[in-house]
Amino acid sequence: MIVAVASGKGGTGKTTIASNLAVCLPRPKRLLDCDVEEPNCHIFLNPEIDTTERFTLPFPIVDETRCNGCGECSVMCRYNAIVTLQSKHLVFPELCHGCGGCVEVCPENAITEGQREIGSIHTGTHDHALFVQGLLDVGQALCPPLIYAVKRHTATNGITVIDCPPGTSCPVIAAVKKCDYVVLVAESSTFGLHDLRLAVDTMRKLNLNFGVVINRVSSADRQVAEFCRNEQIPVLLEIPEDRKAAEAYSRGQLLVDVVPGFRELFDRLCERILAEFHHS
């Protein structure tokens, strides 16, 4: 079973939920941090990293002596990473998504592929469970290929938890795709509700099973809970606003280890997710 932890809005508590959930779930289990622009689960889990590999993406290299300037490659490339200008051509590696389409369509076999480094993959263990994170290099913009590479570590048995990037764009789609269940973390505010709606629309479009965790709940603002009730979305857990939780978080500690009552909250969340999954 693959459980993704996502949100619309950033800063709602994805990493907190993912890392605390990961320690409470039954074994066998593993955690994949796919928030590759800012993977933060390691701060709370302190995994031992055994291997670090560089991740590369292919980009086209054109053999000028074979190119006849036909332009098939630039017609093919929807990312405008390769253009032909009569007898010349230009390649923009930083725009290339590495699909290899230009290599396939070139009638003169003039295109080969080079490799460019865009990030790294760190693999290790936390409490005897596999931990993997992707880390995009500073200045790079293209996350999905690195996210897919991290997701190749998904287990065939047991539970894989995936910490997703925020938002609803390509990196999030890459992270939640083919997951069995998505936990959407929302905060109960007008802004939180706005972005939760976007995330819910995205999950529905992708035909994914999902439920909501409402984080930092105060009694005053019930709009997210009401939205979920009206939309018949299961609320898996409501986490109360708690200064002790904020303090533990600021020290990089797991809430389930140090904040009274949180172990029980997350045990309940585990049960709910497993039940929702078996129910679906």
Q: Which residues bind other proteins (CB under 8 A)?
A: 71, 74, 78-81, 83-86, 88, 90, 92, 94-95, 139-141
Q: Which is nearer to other proteins, 78 or 128 (CB)?
A: 78
Q: Which is nearer to other proteins, 77 or 233 (CB)?
A: 77
Q: Which is nearer to other proteins, 167 or 192 (CB)?
A: 167
Minimal distance, residue 158 CB to other proteins, in Å:
37
Minimal distance, residue 7 CB to other proteins, in Å:
23
Q: Which is nearer to other proteins, 145 or 192 (CB)?
A: 145
Q: Which is nearer to other proteins, 40 or 140 (CB)?
A: 140
- Give every CB contact of residue 259 below 8 A, 6+ residues apart in sequence: 242, 244, 245, 248
- Give every CB contact of residue 220 below 8 A, 6+ residues apart in sequence: none
Minimal distance, residue 9 CB to other proteins, in Å:
23
Minimal distance, residue 37 CB to other proteins, in Å:
14
- Give every CB contact of residue 164 below 8 A, 6+ residues apart in sequence: 4, 5, 6, 7, 14, 34, 35, 171, 172, 175, 176
Q: Which is nearer to other proteins, 139 or 260 (CB)?
A: 139
Report CA torsion sign: 82, 86, 87, 88.
Answer: negative
CA distance 200 to 202: 5
Residue whose pair of structure tokens reads 């007898």 in the numeric block = 87
Whether residue 112 contacts residue 63, with contact meaning beta carbons closer than 8 Å, is answered with: yes
Minimal distance, residue 23 CB to other proteins, in Å:
37
Minimal distance, residue 10 CB to other proteins, in Å:
21
SS3 of residue 135 by DSSP: strand
SS3 of residue 17 by DSSP: helix
